[in-house]
Amino acid sequence: MNRLQVELPGLSMRNPIMPASGCFGFGKEYAKYYDLGILGAIAIKATTDQPRFGNPTPRVAETSAGMLNAIGLQNPGLEGVLTNELPWLHQYDVPIVANVAGTEIADYIETTAKLSKAENVHAIELNISCPNVKQGGIAFGTIPHVAAELTKEVKNVSDVPVYVKLSPNVADIVEIARAVEKAGADGLSMINTLLGMRIDLKRRKPILSNGYGGLSGPAIKPVAIRMIHQVSQAVDIPIIGMGGIYTAEDVVEFMLAGASAIAVGTANFTDPFVCPTIIEELPALLDELEVDHVQDLIGGSWKQCNVHS
Amino acid sequence: MNRLQVELPGLSMRNPIMPASGCFGFGKEYAKYYDLGILGAIAIKATTDQPRFGNPTPRVAETSAGMLNAIGLQNPGLEGVLTNELPWLHQYDVPIVANVAGTEIADYIETTAKLSKAENVHAIELNISCPNVKQGGIAFGTIPHVAAELTKEVKNVSDVPVYVKLSPNVADIVEIARAVEKAGADGLSMINTLLGMRIDLKRRKPILSNGYGGLSGPAIKPVAIRMIHQVSQAVDIPIIGMGGIYTAEDVVEFMLAGASAIAVGTANFTDPFVCPTIIEELPALLDELEVDHVQDLIGGSWKQCNVHS
Amino acid sequence: MIKKDLLKITTQKEIATNIMEVTCSGSLVKQMTEPGQFLHLRVDTSDDLLLRRPISICDVDLENESVTMLYRVEGKGTSRLSYKREGDTIDVLGPLGNGFPLEATDKGETALLVGGGIGVPPLYYLSKQLKERGVNVIHVLGFQSKENVFYEQEFSELGDTYVVTADGTYGSIGYVTDVINEKNLSFDTMYSCGPTPMLAALSTIYGDRRLFISLEERMGCGVGACFACVCHVVGDESGTSYRKVCTDGPVFPVGEVVL
Amino acid sequence: MIKKDLLKITTQKEIATNIMEVTCSGSLVKQMTEPGQFLHLRVDTSDDLLLRRPISICDVDLENESVTMLYRVEGKGTSRLSYKREGDTIDVLGPLGNGFPLEATDKGETALLVGGGIGVPPLYYLSKQLKERGVNVIHVLGFQSKENVFYEQEFSELGDTYVVTADGTYGSIGYVTDVINEKNLSFDTMYSCGPTPMLAALSTIYGDRRLFISLEERMGCGVGACFACVCHVVGDESGTSYRKVCTDGPVFPVGEVVL
Ligand SMILES: Cc1cc2nc3c(=O)[nH]c(=O)nc-3n(C[C@H](O)[C@H](O)[C@H](O)COP(=O)(O)OP(=O)(O)OC[C@H]3O[C@@H](n4cnc5c(N)ncnc54)[C@H](O)[C@@H]3O)c2cc1C
Ligand SMILES: Cc1cc2nc3c(=O)[nH]c(=O)nc-3n(C[C@H](O)[C@H](O)[C@H](O)COP(=O)(O)OP(=O)(O)OC[C@H]3O[C@@H](n4cnc5c(N)ncnc54)[C@H](O)[C@@H]3O)c2cc1C
Ligand SMILES: Cc1cc2nc3c(=O)[nH]c(=O)nc-3n(C[C@H](O)[C@H](O)[C@H](O)COP(=O)(O)O)c2cc1C
Ligand SMILES: Cc1cc2nc3c(=O)[nH]c(=O)nc-3n(C[C@H](O)[C@H](O)[C@H](O)COP(=O)(O)O)c2cc1C
Ligand code: FES
Ligand code: FES
């Protein structure tokens, strides 16, 4: 038996590791570094109904143990993804998680309906951190009933399970999680980036041309762990955990907090081989921790019966 | 003229640098390292009406470019601070910012009324990140009208200006800031720590005995800068900025974002001499940036007229 | 499959104010055959230097598997790099990107290599290879001030070399474009690397010539996955066409991308 | 005023599995006269090692301004420290805390020094100083296993030394308390440093004797300002009395603080 195997709605994963959305393009680039077939799943870049160029550059800035990004959802659009990206990925026997973004509910519906019919798309990841134009630009993900409504509409049209990707920029993450669970979400994916900023001292202007950007990387890991610890105890749907994962130890920490699988984002930029390295190192770490199967870790920091099997 | 001088309500500071509350005790320890008289102000440890022991240890854990703390507001109580700590600090000609914490409004009122009458207390810093027992433990600082009510009550009894210390664990920091401004706050102090967690892999338990703790240090700096940038444009009261400040460059970045003075917390632990070092290095940095007076930096990243004087 | 490798530092020294020359060796060097490509360096394993730093290949000794990079000490990353000593290692990813096309210049033709500041280094490896192919090379190197000038001697050994400083403290005064004008330098191909205003000026003046420019942009991944480093394409009406500096560039023919 | 200083590493080597011995020198060493005090080390200047690491003084050569520390490679900080080489520097704050009281033992009396694992190092400097004062020193050193044993020879040169390992692979088998019993060791003062369960056992058995124990606690500041390292006081009914390990300790007389 494969001790790394994890089963989540729609996602039968040979190990709990997937690259995070937006940090792996549509896979082609990293396929030059290693065989993508070893991955547990692949979360592809956010897709919108129409192609987008995104924000002006600079789009990234480094921070202490983190980075800011304001890519602006650049992507080839629904048609481009369906025609060029997904078919190419089909050569790998790896479930694809399709990240969906939009500016109004109709966008999400349209994109989800079509993407979820693609053969290798096994799950939709609903990016609710996007600004909602109908509500003056407030992110869908910060108001429980707005997030719930979006979830419900998208669930209605999706042929595959829907994971809602939560924004950490909220006072009460549990409230949002419960709202989207009730609205039918099959799983959660958390956390997206924290909103941050850096200012160039000489130019007296933000380093990012967009001003603000999303903070990712090890800096946000303690916030991610805390939120997953809170939410996993409050909901019954599985969580794909992310936020600063760099090592096999980080993976274990996220799973002990309550994640059922994890995603690696920023770390791919620091080390393109980070996913294969983690996958390779995980079994030895399980041995060291006297854990038979990676699934035995899930929620281990709060489950009653967390003695070694 | 002293080019580092800044003037804030109640606080006439010889430079914009103060140690942050909880990271400097009541000054005695660092007085062994340097003359506290060089500081712009001193924010003392949170005071509650009664003495508190705080949480069990471990109370701190390191994270990437940050640390978690769950000290639990250990302090000698109002009487202890009035009798032992403030009189000792009186030997220095430095304005004291007294940080006030509590679990219900009555605690805050009692503590503020007495502390604000102490001769060297020039300002009250209202720590609204504390859990409100009357509201099921939700922090005062996450609900605008609760924060506003607390502010109003405290303002009523305070003999000195009141700075409200904002929690970053909210979806809309501007909303809270506006609410406390309207309730009479003389200034804001931001940011307090982000709620985080670390888990020990072997013990499968949180490293902090309290479970969750407050994340501070360079990791949170981009979040602090972003929030100060947002809030300073939305309110008319000055901001004491903090969150990961280690260097003179950081001070300039916070002031360009919109802070009128800054506080140094975690950095004191890494380097007990960090405050004097920053104060010493600031003039040369102003020269390099061709800035005459440190006050010219305030809000420089968003003010219309931010050309060099 | 592309590899990364730990290269070992053999020498590191300051060759002009704040300009370091570091040479390191390892088997990865074998792949560094294309001038204008860059290496993506992970300076150390601490979490606070999360992003790799792109640095151009300046010179390669394939036989000894040794590569030379020149860099300016700017911020945290390059400053920490400058403290490394002989025997220390650097985690190197690359070579990455598309370099300068050698085949754009035939044997016997003349190539004008125009560099500005820290854009000068990749031109050295380019010049060596062009010369080896029988191309006549001329160099125009622009710097801020006398103290910033480097590699004049090295370039002179390959072909005519004109140095110009913005403040006139060394060589002629002004910009690289002034020198090209004044000296009436003629060429078949121009290759350039330097600050964007310089590249923009050259593109305006020599937009109808055989000109290749090497761009700089802040990078995330360096491998084409994150879309941090994109630029617009000249003449694209949809507004959604793009090129990535890290993989489509850093070298582009003039007129391809919007500067 | 207290100072911090950059000490220069003169030697560093592994003396047992994962146990490093590092010696460094600098003028700050002059102040390191009290055994049981600790140094607060900033391993490097990267942002991801924010907190200093407390490491005990193991030995001091005042004349040559040289201090020796022994440490176990545990996590990120000690692991990075172990990569430092001769000539590298360490940012040292200290000496900090209250050490072992030498004056508790008179000339001619016997002191039993009981160490467990990485609690052994501070006992060495203590033993040297006690011996210098004419105290008869006996050492009982407990380790996990043979591969973890260190400094047996060094301690033996100062007085009788009994080594015990938990798995019996070296010396006798069992705990330090077993050895003290079996060998019927008698003493006037006991000084101990090691894991809390060991200190608790000693406190229970020898609670009515002259016993000094050195505690460990996770630290923030190390200087008494942050209240990270507090412990309760024995017999305090209010529940609000406390001692700080960093400044009131790390050494306490038995019965003063709650373990
Ligand atoms: C293709 C390419 C080739 C380059 N070749 C060289 C070279 O040969 N020699 C040399 O000295 N410099 C070169 N640069 C510039 C060099 O990458 C930056 O000077 C360096 O990254 C600054 O890092 P830092 O840590 O010192 O500065 P910091 O300001 O601390 O860097 C913070 C972040 O911004 C990025 N950054 C800062 N400045 C630049 C810049 N000018 N271009 C791209 N990213 C930047 C850094 O990579 C890092 O991610 C090149 C850049 C590119 C894109
Ligand atoms: C007064 C005192 C004296 C000490 N003397 C020695 C000594 O001489 N030799 C030696 O090997 N060790 C000693 N220790 C323990 C040593 O401080 C830790 O092993 C070390 O801090 C671990 O750091 P790390 O980065 O390797 O581990 P990490 O796990 O990465 O450390 C993370 C954080 O936890 C803290 N931490 C982890 N373990 C401990 C611990 N056991 N005690 C206190 N803080 C800890 C670290 O300081 C750091 O802040 C002493 C501890 C104290 C309190
Ligand atoms: C450059 C970049 C682009 C990203 N793009 C997306 C995206 O398109 N959709 C999305 O849901 N999340 C996106 N994210 C967020 C990541 O998927 C992930 O949630 C976050 O970065 C935290 O994980 P990390 O710390 O491992 O990077 C992006 C992150 C980065 C750094
Ligand atoms: C150990 C510790 C104790 C703190 N105690 C208090 C406190 O008592 N009251 C308060 O308002 N903030 C407290 N803070 C928060 C700091 O004042 C500051 O807002 C925060 O740490 C961010 O700044 P920094 O990153 O510079 O530390 C504490 C922070 C730390 C690290
Ligand atoms: S740097 Fe990531 S796409 Fe170019
Ligand atoms: S470590 Fe800060 S008080 Fe002891």
Shortest distance between the Cα of B62 and any Cα of chain D, in A, equals 7
At position C170, the amino acid (one-letter code) is: Y
H or E stretch covering B239: strand B239-241
What gap in Å lies between CA A27 and CA A88, rounded to an integer? 9
Structure tokens that stand for C259 in this block: 């500067």
Report CB contact under 8 Å: B62, D232.
no
Q: Which sign, positive or negative, has the C-alpha torsion B218, B220, B223, B227?
A: negative
Neighbouring chains to D with at least 3 Cβ pairs closer than 8 Å? A, B, C
By residue count, chain A amounts to 309
Minimal Cβ distance to D51: which of B51, B59, B67 = B67
Report CB contact under 8 Å: A29, C231.
no
Catalytic residue (choose from B23, B130, B275, B305):
B130
Give the 3-state secondary structure of residue A49: coil
Q: Which of C50, C52, C98, C244 to mutate to test the pocket of ligand 5 (most atoms within 8 A of CB)?
A: C244
Predicted local confidence at residue A308, as pLDDT: 45
What gap in Å lies between CA D198 and CA D204, rounded to an integer? 10
Mutation target vs C (from D6, D9, D48, D88; most C CBs, 10 A cutoff): D48
Ligand number nearest to the C-alpha of B61: 2
Pairing outcome for strands D189-193 and D210-214? parallel
Residues with CB under 6 A from ligand 5: C 219-222, 224-229, 244, 246
Pairing outcome for strands A96-100 and A42-47? parallel
pLDDT band at residue A305 using 50, 70 and 90 as cut-offs:
low
pLDDT (average), residues A253-271: 98
C-contacting residues of B 227-286, CB under 8 Å? none
Is C188 a residue whose pLDDT tops 50?
yes
Take atom 37 of ligand 2 and give the residue whose Cα is closest. Answer: D218
**Residues with Cβ within 8 Å of residue B287, at least 6 apart in sequence:** none
B-contacting residues of A 68-127, CB under 8 Å? 68
Give the model confidence (pLDDT) of A199-257 as tens digits.
999 999 999 999 999 999 999 999 999 999 999 999 999 999 999 999 999 999 999 99
Is B306 a residue whose pLDDT tops 50?
no
Q: Residue D228 C-alpha to ligand 2 middle, in angstroms?
A: 14
With beta carbons under 8 A apart, name residues in chain D contacting C47: 46-48
pLDDT (average), residues D26-51: 94
CA Rg, chain C, in Å?
18
Give the model confidence (pLDDT) of A26-67 as tens digits.
999 999 999 999 999 999 999 999 999 999 999 999 999 999
Q: Which of A192, A227, A254, A262 to mutate to test the pocket of ligand 3 (most atoms within 8 A of CB)?
A: A192
The reply to whether ligand 1 has any atom less than 6 angstroms from the CB of C38 is: yes
Shortest distance between the Cα of D48 and any Cα of chain C, in A, equals 6
Predicted local confidence at residue B130, as pLDDT: 77
pLDDT band at residue A309 using 50, 70 and 90 as cut-offs:
very low
The reply to whether ligand 1 has any atom less than 6 angstroms from the CB of A200 is: no
Please give the number of the atom of ligand 5 that sits closest to the Cα of C246. 4
In what side-by-side order are the strands of the sheet with B162-165?
B17-19, B261-264, B239-241, B187-190, B162-165, B121-127, B96-100, B42-47
Q: Residue C37 C-alpha to ligand 5 middle, in angstroms?
A: 14
H or E stretch covering B42: strand B42-47
Residue D46 at interface with chain C, using a CB cutoff of 8 Å: yes
By residue count, chain B amounts to 309
User: Looking at residue A242, what DSSP letter applies?
Assistant: E
Residue D48 at interface with chain C, using a CB cutoff of 8 Å: yes
Give the model confidence (pLDDT) of C218-256 as tens digits.
999 999 999 999 999 999 988 899 999 999 999 999 999
What gap in Å lies between CA A139 and CA A176, rounded to an integer? 12
Closest chain A residue to the Cα of C219, Cα to Cα: A60
Shortest distance between the Cα of D57 and any Cα of chain B, in A, equals 20
What gap in Å lies between CA C240 and CA C235, rounded to an integer? 11
Predicted local confidence at residue B264, as pLDDT: 98
Is B308 a residue whose pLDDT tops 60?
no
Q: Is B130 a catalytic site residue?
A: yes
Chains B and D: how many Cβ contacts under 8 Å?
109
Report CB contact under 8 Å: C50, A268.
no
What gap in Å lies between CA C17 and CA C20, rounded to an integer? 8
A-contacting residues of B 164-183, CB under 8 Å? 169-172
pLDDT band at residue D47 using 50, 70 and 90 as cut-offs:
confident
What gap in Å lies between CA C112 and CA C185, rounded to an integer? 8
Q: Kindly provide the ipTM of the predicted complex, given to two decimals.
A: 0.96
With beta carbons under 8 A apart, name residues in chain A contacting C49: 62
Q: Would you call the peptide bond into B207 cis, given omega within 30 degrees of 0 as the criterion?
A: no
Take atom 5 of ligand 3 and give the residue whose Cα is closest. Answer: A22
What gap in Å lies between CA B35 and CA B279, rounded to an integer? 13
What gap in Å lies between CA C7 and CA C41, rounded to an integer? 10
Neighbouring chains to C with at least 3 Cβ pairs closer than 8 Å? A, B, D
pLDDT (average), residues B67-80: 94
SS (H, E, C) chain D: CCCEEEEEEEEEEEEECCEEEEEEECHHHHHCCCCCCEEEEECCCCCCCCCCEEEECCEEECCCCEEEEEEECCCHHHHHHHCCCCCCEEEEEEEECECCCHHHCCCCCEEEEEEEHHHCHHHHHHHHHHHHCCCEEEEEEEECCHHHCCCHHHHHCCCEEEEEECCCCCEEECCHHHHHHHCCCCCCEEEEECCHHHHHHHHHHHCCCEEEEECCCCCCCCCCCCCCCEEEECCCCCCCCEEECCCCCEEEECCCECC
Structure tokens that stand for D186 in this block: 């008698």
pLDDT (average), residues C88-105: 95
Ligand number nearest to the C-alpha of A216: 3
With beta carbons under 8 A apart, name residues in chain A contacting C228: 57-60, 69, 71
Shortest distance between the Cα of B245 and any Cα of chain C, in A, equals 15
Give the model confidence (pLDDT) of D192-222 as tens digits.
999 999 999 999 999 999 999 999 999 999 9
Mutation target vs D (from C42, C43, C45, C46; most D CBs, 10 A cutoff): C46
D-contacting residues of B 101-160, CB under 8 Å? none
Minimal Cβ distance to B60: which of D220, D225, D238 = D220
Catalytic residues of A: 130
Which of B259, B251, B244, B253 has the alpha carbon at shortest distance from B278? B251
Minimal Cβ distance to B253: which of A172, A201, A244 = A201
The reply to whether ligand 2 has any atom less than 6 angstroms from the CB of D218 is: yes
Give the model confidence (pLDDT) of A107-126 as tens digits.
999 999 999 999 999 999 99
Predicted local confidence at residue A131, as pLDDT: 74
Which of A218, A226, D51, A211 has the alpha carbon at shortest distance from B219? A218
Q: What are phi and psi of B285, to 5 degrees?
A: -70, -40
Please give the number of the atom of ligand 4 that sits closest to the Cα of B127. 11
Predicted local confidence at residue B309, as pLDDT: 40
Minimal Cβ distance to B201: which of A202, A211, A249 = A249
β-bridge mates for residue D180, sequence order: none
Helices A144-157 + A105-115 axis angle, to 10: 30
Closest chain A residue to the Cα of D48, Cα to Cα: A65
Predicted local confidence at residue B305, as pLDDT: 59
What gap in Å lies between CA B291 and CA B251, rounded to an integer? 14
pTM of this structure: 0.96
CA Rg, chain B, in Å?
18
Report CB contact under 8 Å: C230, A29.
no
Report CB contact under 8 Å: D47, C44.
no
Structure tokens that stand for A208 in this block: 């990012």
Which pairs from C162-165 meet CB under 8 Å and 24+ separation? C162/C138, C164/C140
Give the model confidence (pLDDT) of B26-37 as tens digits.
999 999 999 999
Q: Residue C55 C-alpha to ligand 1 middle, in angstroms?
A: 7
Minimal Cβ distance to A219: which of B64, B204, B301 = B64
Give the model confidence (pLDDT) of B113-172 as tens digits.
999 999 999 999 999 987 776 776 778 888 999 999 999 999 999 999 999 999 999 999
With beta carbons under 8 A apart, name residues in chain D contacting B65: 47-48, 50
Give the model confidence (pLDDT) of D130-185 as tens digits.
999 999 999 999 999 999 999 999 999 999 999 999 999 999 999 999 999 999 99
